[in-house]
A and B are shown apart, each in its own frame.
Chain A
Amino acid sequence: ETGVTQTPRHLVMGMTNKKSLKCEQHLGHNAMYWYKQSAKKPLELMFVYSLEERVENNSVPSRFSPECPNSSHLFLHLHTLQPEDSALYLCASSQADRSTDTQYFGPGTRLTVL
């Protein structure tokens, strides 16, 4: 359970605030992911980083800005969010050069936008 950690676990912010979510993986992986889990909807992939380069961006609004400074850390910078952005944000990591890489997830950050 401590392979992928996320901070904070809970965050409440106003629509004009700027905040950041942090993810750290201790598994020696080289790929990291951000997912959004909203009520009543399947998990949605937001961003993929492989070897610290963004390789996928699934049409995510620009008010979400990812940053991957090294293979162990991933951030999601948030600004001028909307109430519909309230969700559980999950980070995952994997070893992407294996043919059957498996993603391991953190506990998530529960975000509430007022």
Chain B
Amino acid sequence: AQSVTQLDSHVSVSEGTPVLLRCNYSSSYSPSLFWYVQHPNKGLQLLLKYTSAATLVKGINGFEAEFKKSETSFHLTKPSAHMSDAAEYFCVVRMDTGRRALTFGSGTRLQVQP
């Protein structure tokens, strides 16, 4: 079985400060990992994905994530938060077993204070 745990349901930062959204996964197989963002009343937008290539993955809008197998983590970071980053962020895992089903974390709501 696979699962994803997003350690914080809410994160609040000030504009211009770093962002850290934490994600841990459990997996019996080699996983693919994704971060999606959902702005209010919008669908999910892919931020970045890890697919067993480089462990440090760069995404859109200045976000990046590092895959750490020893820690089973895939935390999302950004050096400097912008007001437009306020949204809900989902960590997602897919096992490379041929099944296409994704398992979603429960989400982290990011607030950016001026």
Give the B-binding residues of A (Cβ under 8 A): 1, 4, 6, 31, 33, 41-43, 45, 48, 50, 55-56, 58, 90, 92, 94, 96, 99-108, 110
Contact = CB atoms under 8 A, between A and B. Distances in A.
Interface of B is mostly: loop
B107 A108 contact: no
Contacts of A48: 100-101
Interface residues of B, number: 21
Contacts of A108: 42-43
A56 B101 contact: yes
A101 B92 CA distance: 13
B32 A100 contact: yes
Contacts of A104: 46
Contact of A43 (B46, B49, B104): B104
Interface of B: 32, 34, 36, 41-46, 49, 51, 90, 96, 99-102, 104-107
Nearest to A90: B43
Interface hub of B34, B36, B100, B102 (most chain A Cβ within 10 A): B100
Contacts of B100: 31, 33, 48, 50, 55-56, 94, 96, 101, 103
Contact of B36 (A58, A94, A105): A105
B32 to A, nearest CB: 6
A78 B11 CA distance: 37
B43 A4 contact: yes
19 contacts: A1-B45, A4-B43, A6-B43, A31-B100, A41-B106, A43-B102, A45-B102, A48-B100, A56-B99, A58-B101, A94-B100, A96-B100, A100-B49, A100-B96, A103-B100, A103-B102, A105-B36, A107-B43, A110-B41
Given A42-B106, A100-B49, A100-B51, A105 B44 contact: yes
